[in-house]
Amino acid sequence: MAKSPKAYVSSLDEGCIAAISEGRHRDTFAVLGLHTHPSGKGLVVRALLPNAESVRVISTDTGRSLGEMHQIGSQGLFELPLPRRKNRFGYRYEVVWNGETYHETDPYSVGELLTQEQHYLFAEGSDERAYRWMGAHPLIVGGVEGTHFVVWAPSAQRVSVVGEFNYWDGRRHVMRANPGSGIWDIFIPGVAPGTLYKYEIVDQHGQRLPLKSDPYGRGFEHPPQTASLVVPEPAHSWQDSQWMAAREKRQNFDQPISVYELHLGSWRRKPEEGNRYLSYVELADELVPYVKSLGFTHIQLMPVSEYPFDGSWGYQPVGMFAPTIRFGTADEFRYFVDQCHQAGLGVFIDWVPGHFPTDEHGLGRFDGTALYEHEDPRQGYHPDWNTLIYNYGRKEVVSYLLSNAFYWLDEFHIDGLRVDAVASMLYLDYSRKEGEWIPNEQGGRENLEAIAMLQAVNQRVGFNYPGVLMIAEESTSFPGVTKPVDMGGLGFHYKWNMGWMNDTLAYMERDPIYRQYHQDQLTFGLVYAFSENFVLPLSHDEVVHGKGSLLSKMPGDDWQQFANLRAYLSFMWSHPGKKLLFMGGEFAQREEWNHNTSLDWHLLAAPAHAGISDMIKDLNACLSEFPALYQQDCSHEGFDWLQIDNTAQSVLAWLRRDAQGNAVVVTANLTPQYHSDYRIGVPQGGSLIERFNSDQARYGGSGRLNAEAITVDEIESNGRGYSANVSLAPLAVQIFELKKLS
């Protein structure tokens, strides 16, 4: 009588089989793949392939079958003992699913791909380019194409990569744990660019968390979908070498900077095509020549990092390492920046290291603990924006933010980062009441860890990218924002002058009859104008949330509103500090900005609106032509008041001077009264030649110009030994070149 086939006995105990099959095992790499048999005799190979009908092990050296695997347990765990041979050899699986045969390379056959240096630098907070190996990167390992996934989740019991390639089954591709650094990784053969994925994380209590997007993901699904996307390595061929070689000089403090700020999703849309966005490629074709024609030197983009909610305008990002897919791919964004550079335009982007949203697929409680944020809501929760605040004291978070800054500069040739909401980062009690915040270790209100992080980023950017600008949106009087770190400052190059913006807008909103009582709102900015290096911002923040447009803020009838706006913009362009204007301001958008629609481009058909546009072109041309208007923006040596005390008539006059002593005289008459014969003191003899007047008829003004050169008389006025009689147009700013005697 024939003997019954002997039942296969697994080398694993029931508990281990159950833990692997149910995704509960703490070290999957120690079980799956090829290992020495527990008996010490031969080898054993194991695979978890749920719902497989049969699995064979195939030698990649010979192409021959090494045997059919035995299924152990009931959930697709397979095992095959092998005779002793070399400890490592090439193999793959031949798997039958639903009657179809597939060939798979075992992800657990791939050894460690990370270095100890990577673990060390990341944990130390000094890895400037962690993005090069964290996240998802297509690789070829041992001749096999696939993707290497790396994620930081130190408190997790298990981390798996899930996607359509494994039916979103978290048991299939459990990652390798690196307990010393908290980093998990796995190389998954066959996963190619274009694959959607997320991380399935089991926390320290054994609870499965909502699926998480990749913190270092370089691509995402189109919102509102939230999966990360494996992206190919860059294929764009940069053509901006001329710009990059000259950038450091172009962006020096003594150069003109005039910035056009915009929101990519609402600058211009295609209403005839469902009101769709323009793509990065279309923006390169339409936006770049438009901005260039206006004479701006730079474009500043509101955040382009991927974000889930349109209404946040990008200020609540989830994909810090991914240009938003709303407008195209990463290579198409590279093309856009490249086209800007080839046209001679620099590109700044808004960078948001101050907070992140609470969306469950994002960074919040990423591994079941407060990993990127503080545990205590008094430190980790932002009440104004319902967002979470980074834990800047955690070194791995510093590596995350530092490498993110480098990512945009490395990968996209970005020329400057405008850092959003710096004030909220600097103060522990920002927007908090007594008892709602925790003092620092010295008992103070300054966030010492955030300060150290900002200093580190600014120093490392400055060292690695000479000429790249770091710009702070900082709304308080925190000292030394633009002072070098080694002198005790934060190390930014520029700071937005929010005080100037608030004061001058408040002045301009007043009826001219009352301006005589508030002239200090125009002049106070010069008290501190050189205490920091300033950008004068008329940004998106001034035309949203019921504030109305710049035009609608101006008092008077329609003519006076336009005249006031022309005067205000001209005042800004002739005032010390670099310039920034939000889109729509260049043609006097009438309605408040709406991120869901295009700007009102039809307004340019109206002469008054076209006049504002023409004036902006001329202001930028004037700025470029006369170094006195920009060369000493950050030095008191470039500015003198000529007349500051004529409050009754709301008239001001000042001098701008370049490093060689060449000067322009600027006048501002901020009432509708025309002064045909107005004397102002000047510091030297010669003549005044009017080079700009915001009251030009072609701008929509009354055309009260100084058509002829004006001789400077040796007559004392306003404490000066010389003076000149000029005509002051109503509600106008005028710029005169001061020509020396030959």
The structure tokens 């944020």 sit at 373
Contact, 395 vs 372, CB < 8 A?
no
Quick one: which H or E segment has residue 452? helix 448-464
Q: Report d(CA 677, CA 679) in Å as an integer.
A: 7
- The span from the CA of 250 to the CA of 258, in Å, is 12
Q: How many CA atoms lie within 13 A of 343 on its CB side?
A: 25
Among candidate residues 185, 214, 411, 420, the one labeled active-site is: 420
**What DSSP assignment string belongs to 583-623?**
TTGGGT--SPP-TTS---GGGGGSHHHHHHHHHHHHHHHHH
Do residues 348 and 415 lie in contact, with contact meaning Cβ atoms separated by under 8 Å?
A: yes
- Give the three-state DSSP class for 688: strand
Beta bridge partners of 202: 158, 208
> Is 652 exposed, middle or buried, given 0-12, 13-18 or 19+ CB atoms closer than 10 A?
buried
Q: What is the 3-state secondary structure (H, E, C) of 82-149?
A: ECCCCCCCCEEEEEEECCEEEEECCHHHCCCCCCHHHHHHHHHCCCCCHHHCCEEEEEEECCEEEEEE
Specify the long-range contacts of residues 713-720, CB closer than 8 Å, at least 24 apart: 714/685, 715/679, 716/681, 717/679, 717/680, 717/681, 718/642, 718/643, 718/653, 718/680, 718/681, 719/681, 720/642, 720/681, 720/682, 720/683
**CA 149 – CA 502 distance, rounded (Å):** 48
Distances 591 to 600, 605, 662 between C-alpha atoms, Å: 8, 16, 41
Q: Is 420 known to be catalytic?
A: yes
As a three-state string, the secondary structure of 4-49 is CCCCCCCCCCHHHHHHHHCCCCCCHHHCCEEEECCCCCCEEEEEEC
Q: How far is CA 148 from its chain centroid?
A: 26
Cβ burial of 713 (10 Å; 0-12, 13-18, 19+) is: middle
Give the N- to C-terminal CA distance of the chain in Å, as an integer.
126
Measured CA to CA, the distance from residue 152 to residue 331 in angstroms comes to 27
Beta bridge partners of 228: 197, 220
Please tell me the distance from the alpha carbon of residue 158 to that of residue 422, in angstroms, as a whole number.
Answer: 36
**Cβ–Cβ < 8 Å for 25, 52:** no
Provide the 10 A C-beta neighbour count for residue 697.
Answer: 13
Q: Which of 495, 525, 535, 567 is nearest to 256 (CA)?
A: 535
Judge whether 319 and 312 are in contact, CB under 8 Å. no
Catalytic residue among 106, 367, 449, 473: 473
DSSP structural state of residue 432 = -
- Number of Cβ within 10 Å of residue 124's Cβ equals 12
Give yes or no: 713 in active site: no
Q: Which two tokens stand for residue 690?
A: 């009017």
Sign of CA dihedral 270, 275, 280, 281: negative
Tokens of 537: 């911002």
Coil, strand or helix at 238: coil
Q: What is the torsion angle, in degrees rounded to the nearest 10, for the CA atoms of residue 320, residue 326, residue 330 and residue 335? A: -130
Q: ∠ CA(624), CA(625), CA(629), 5° rounding?
A: 70
**Residues known to be catalytic:** 420, 473
